[in-house]
Structure 1
Amino acid sequence: MLVLDHVSISVPSIDIARPFYDAIMAALGVDKVYDRPAALGYGARCNASEPFHTYLAIYESATANVDEKRHWCFKATSRAQVNAFYAAGLTTGGKDDGAPGLRPQYHEGYFAAFLLDPFGNRVEAVCHRVE
């Protein structure tokens, strides 16, 4: 059973967030499901016949989330996809918060990268496969 159903975050500017999230979600093969003046949506919403989807919603708000311990981790299917996520984020306004690499303190195959989006939200991509 998947634990993460959806995540909602806020940013002070959708226009600045859009290229960053478009790039990192595309690198992970995640579809954009809507693009509104004050909101973005990626992934797929769950429904009764497909309860195992994951969804990310980004809303424009006067202030961004500020809790430095909060972060969102996205599943990657390969280490190459983690690398693509990291590169896409850096080229669209993100900042390094942990280059791609193994994190054996979690488990043997935990290969992840961490970024801060243009507003300081921490995002991670992880591949759990041992390669």
Structure 2
Amino acid sequence: MLSYIRVGANDTALSGRFYTAILTPLGYRKEEVPEGIEFTFPDRPGRSPGPAAVYVAKPYDGKEATVGNGSMTAFQAETQEMVRSLHAAGLQAGGSDEGAPGFRAEYSDRFYVGYLRDPLGNKVAIFSVNPAEGTRGR
């Protein structure tokens, strides 16, 4: 089981605004900690643990944070509208567009996704596979 994700940031306040804009609507709690910012998902009775915690912080080695080529973090939203809303919120909070929300021919008919880059350039996907919503081509 995935336990946590650590995202490097050179400007934790700027990166923190971006992750706050896309994670708090998904139910994550934000807490400023000495190392940076921690986003955790509250425990809910009758629900399995998770999703993973997300930490936004400067690298431990003291060097500049850099982008991992080929790395991407994906977050699941409940609806296609939420994907669109979080994509827009991420752009307003300092992120950049890496692919507007929509269906992609290379994925399943229900996989609705939008892509962003955080302020440092890390790639982030926000997706929905809600069976109650429309599919590609319908």
| Equivalent residue in structure 1 for 2:16, among 15, 18, 43 | 18
Distance (whole Å) between structure 1 residues aligned to residue 128 and residue 9 of structure 2: 27
Distance (whole Å) between structure 2 residues aligned to residue 91 and residue 37 of structure 1: 26
Alignment match, 2:79: 78
Gaps of 5+ in 2: 134-138
**Identical-pair percentage:** 27
Contact 2:16 2:56 in 1 (8 A): no
CA displacement at 1:99 relative to structure 2: 0.4
Calculate the TM-score normalised by the size of structure 1: 0.84
Provide Cα deviations, 1:11-42, integer angstroms capped at 9, x if missing partner.
1111211211111112333221x113531111
Distance 1:108 1:4, change over 3 A: farther
Superposed CA RMSD? 2.1
Aligned residue for 1:99, secondary structure, equals strand
Distance 1:106 1:84, change over 3 A: same
Gaps of 5+ in 1: none
Provide Cα deviations, 1:53-91, integer angstroms capped at 9, x if missing partner.
121111123322322210100011111110111000111
Counterpart AA for 2:93: T
Alignment match, 2:40: 43
Distance (whole Å) between structure 2 residues aligned to residue 105 and residue 116 of structure 1: 21
Output aligned runs, 1:94-109, within 5 Å.
Answer: 94-109=95-110
Distance (whole Å) between structure 1 residues aligned to residue 48 and residue 64 of structure 2: 32
Contact 1:14 1:38 in 2 (8 A): no
Number of matched pairs: 126
Distance (whole Å) between structure 2 residues aligned to residue 108 and residue 52 of structure 1: 28
Aligned residue for 2:21, secondary structure, equals helix
Distance (whole Å) between structure 2 residues aligned to residue 75 and residue 5 of structure 1: 16
